[in-house]
């Protein structure tokens, strides 16, 4: 298996395919096509899945006559990698600026429960020296 490349190193369609696989957990070529807006041909999706496997992002298993593809990293590891990339790319590595931007979104009202959870996470990070 090849070394997994960074999320930013994927093309637009590759990221879309990875989104479908993370959302579904496991999928055939037909399942992936069904999850894509304006999907390319079956052969094109199959080729991109092969490339993603070569890059180390996915694995496959035979299920009868079809292959079922799965992300090679857990959803949590993928989330952290994507967030790391996002924070580095758009917030100059500042988790504080990224968090502040999220809290300032109109679509994300902060409930009292969310505020308590954030305060607890901050206290824990402080006690751990982060």
What pTM does this model have?
A: 0.68
Place of tokens 């093309």: 11
* Architecture in CATH for domain 7-71: Orthogonal Bundle (1.10)
> CA-CA distance, 91 to 98, in Å (whole number)?
6
**Cβ neighbours for 57, distance < 8 A, ≥ 6 positions apart:** 4, 5, 10, 14, 18, 71, 72, 73
Domain ranges in the chain are 7-71, 94-130
DSSP state of 84: H
Digitized pLDDT (tens) for each residue of the chain, 130 residues in all: 445 555 557 889 999 999 999 999 999 999 999 999 999 999 999 999 999 999 999 999 999 999 999 999 888 888 888 889 899 999 999 988 998 888 888 776 788 998 899 899 999 989 998 7
By three-state DSSP, how is residue 61 classified? strand
């Amino acid at each position: 298996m090849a070394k997994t490349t960074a999320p930013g190193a994927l093309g637009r369609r590759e990221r879309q395919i990875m989104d479908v696989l993370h959302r579904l957990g496991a999928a055939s070529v037909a399942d992936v096509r069904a999850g894509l807006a304006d999907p390319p041909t079956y052969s094109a999706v199959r080729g991109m899945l092969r490339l993603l496997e070569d890059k180390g992002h996915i694995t496959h298993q035979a299920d009868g006559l079809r292959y079922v593809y799965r992300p090679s990293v857990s959803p949590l590891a993928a989330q952290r990698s994507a967030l790391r990339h996002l924070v580095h790319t758009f917030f100059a590595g500042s988790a504080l600026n990224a968090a502040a931007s999220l809290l300032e979104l109109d679509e994300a009202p902060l409930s009292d429960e969310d505020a308590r959870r954030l305060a607890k996470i901050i206290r824990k990070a402080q006690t751990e020296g982060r």
